Amino acid sequence: FDVPELHDAVFRQNFNLVKRLVAERHNLNISISSPKFMKQRKDNITYMAGFFRGATPLMVACHTGNLRIVCLLVEKGAIVNKTDSIGVTPFAIACARNHLPVCKYLRRRGALTEIRDDLFGMTPLHVACRMGHTSLAKWLSAHGSNVHACDFTGKSTMHFAAWSYNIELIKFLVSKNVSLNSKDKNGDTPLHYIVSNHDLVPDHIEKHFCACEYETAAAIIDQISTIEQYQLSISIHREEDREMGTCKSTDIWYAAETMLKSGANPNAVNYKEETPLHLLASCLPASYLTRGYVITFETKVNQEMLVLMLILLKMGAEPEKLTKLGKSATALCLEQYNQLAAKILNRYMDVCTTVSVEDHDVCTAFIQRYGARYLQKEKQFERQLEQISDTVIEPQRRRSVVQVCREAMRSVNRYIQEVIVG
């Protein structure tokens, strides 16, 4: 927390103090010597921001978005394109924080809009897409930023837009002819990122670059972990990651539907020969079947991911495909103990299976311990999943005659299984 006085005044947005320090000829380009956190108490919440070694007062001003202070520092000699220890510029930080007026001003003052950071090779446009800042991304594109550029790991702007479930941004990038099926260095397409719990920060990169800085930051976080209420952000890469169950379900479903409708390949494989359906199956929470009921601890996540699975299946995903290790999506579902997902996949395969996916021993013990707290009626829950997925897809989907016939046969088969057999 020990930072130069000018950095602290800028972070607190104390314009008069900043103006006085500038008049006293404080070094406007002084940089911090190690990773630092700055904090401010407001509305009974401690706001904290982390910066890496080399961060200048102008970078702090771009983080807060105070245009008056940014203008003052630049006009008095702050270096616009100075970078910190991982190659992040003030302009990139302003993009990460969605401060468009600051971005416009810095560009007029000579900020480089295509410079990449040293850690991930992200351009400011990548940063805007990663954070889901649609208006800013459109502005960057209109002023010459390359929408087709990839970072060091091969991720395109579409990968970042897909990861953030940003439907408007996905549509904008499609209008700019950004590929929906481009692959990163692992062979994953943007659709793989929508359906999986992929981390945008590869472990091997963190270990290779600036490891000491991450370790220092981690130690500081441990020290402040006792604070009851605080909001934390670190530079442009360490914002809180999204997870299934923490975003709006409709955003996830419609993001997938938008990409599939626009031409994303639901059967694209990565270098492990995994399709998006395989990745989704490997992320499912446990869901047991017994005596006409579904048991799951994570009801919202389970529903969210099963609807997503149905969207993939109804828009062309092939459940019969195998990974390089010879595993089907059904096998991956069973590895995750999601028996309902396995049952759904079995129904969507052309070859019916008679393998039972119920686990009466586990379910009996579960009911004895928790009662009906986590129980849902199986057929009612399945109908709900079908209705939601149809609502997402049907208004915008144009199906061929063959697809209509195949889905009609599947509906008949489901009716036989649910009503006659069930």
Q: What is the pLDDT of residues 67-101, one digit of tens each?
A: 999 999 999 999 999 999 889 999 999 999 999 99
Domain ranges of the chain: 5-234, 266-421
Mean pLDDT of 59-67: 95
Mean pLDDT of 370-379: 72
Class of residue 40 by CB neighbours under 10 A (exposed 0-12, middle 13-18, buried 19+): middle
CA torsion, ordered 27, 28, 29, 32, to nearest 10 deg: 80
Q: Write a three-state SS string for 204-219.
A: HHHHHCCHHHHHHHHH
Q: Which residue has the higher pLDDT, 235 or 402?
A: 402
Residue 34: count other Cβ atoms within 10 Å of its Cβ: 15
* Structural class in CATH, domain 5-234: mainly alpha
Mean pLDDT of 109-125: 92
Instruction: Return d(Cα 82, Cα 89) in angstroms, integer.
Output: 6
Mean pLDDT of 362-387: 74
Q: What percent of the chain has pLDDT over 70?
A: 75
Give Cα 233 to chain centroid, integer Å: 16
pLDDT band at 235 (very low <50, low <70, confident <90, very high): very low
Per-residue pLDDT tens over the stretch 165-201: 999 999 999 999 999 999 999 999 999 999 987 666 5
Phi-psi sector, 326: left (phi>0), alpha (psi -120 to 50), beta: left
Residue 6 pLDDT > 80, yes or no?
yes
Q: Smallest Cα–Cα separation from 234: which of 217, 212, 210?
A: 217
State the pairing for strand pair 230-234/45-51. Answer: parallel
Instruction: Return d(Cα 193, Cα 173) in angstroms, integer.
Output: 16
Instruction: Return d(Cα 199, Cα 213) in angstroms, integer.
Output: 20
pLDDT of amino acid 314? 92
Q: Smallest Cα–Cα separation from 338: which of 381, 372, 388, 402?
A: 381
Phi-psi sector, 314: left (phi>0), alpha (psi -120 to 50), beta: alpha
Instruction: Return d(Cα 364, Cα 157) in angstroms, integer.
Output: 48
Per-residue pLDDT tens over the stretch 273-325: 999 999 999 999 988 887 778 888 788 888 999 999 999 999 999 999 999 99
pLDDT of amino acid 240? 44
Give Cα 162 to chain centroid, integer Å: 7
Half-sphere exposure of 329 toward its Cβ, with a 13 Å CA cutoff? Answer: 31
Instruction: Return d(Cα 238, Cα 219) in angstroms, integer.
Output: 15
pLDDT band at 28 (very low <50, low <70, confident <90, very high): very high
Class of residue 317 by CB neighbours under 10 A (exposed 0-12, middle 13-18, buried 19+): buried
Cβ(85)–Cβ(53) below 8 Å: yes
Lowest mean pLDDT among 4-8, 140-144, 367-371: 367-371
pLDDT of amino acid 411? 63
Residue 398 pLDDT > 80, yes or no?
no
Instruction: Return d(Cα 341, Cα 344) in angstroms, integer.
Output: 5
Class of residue 215 by CB neighbours under 10 A (exposed 0-12, middle 13-18, buried 19+): exposed
pLDDT of amino acid 124? 96
Length of the chain: 422
Mean pLDDT of 148-158: 95
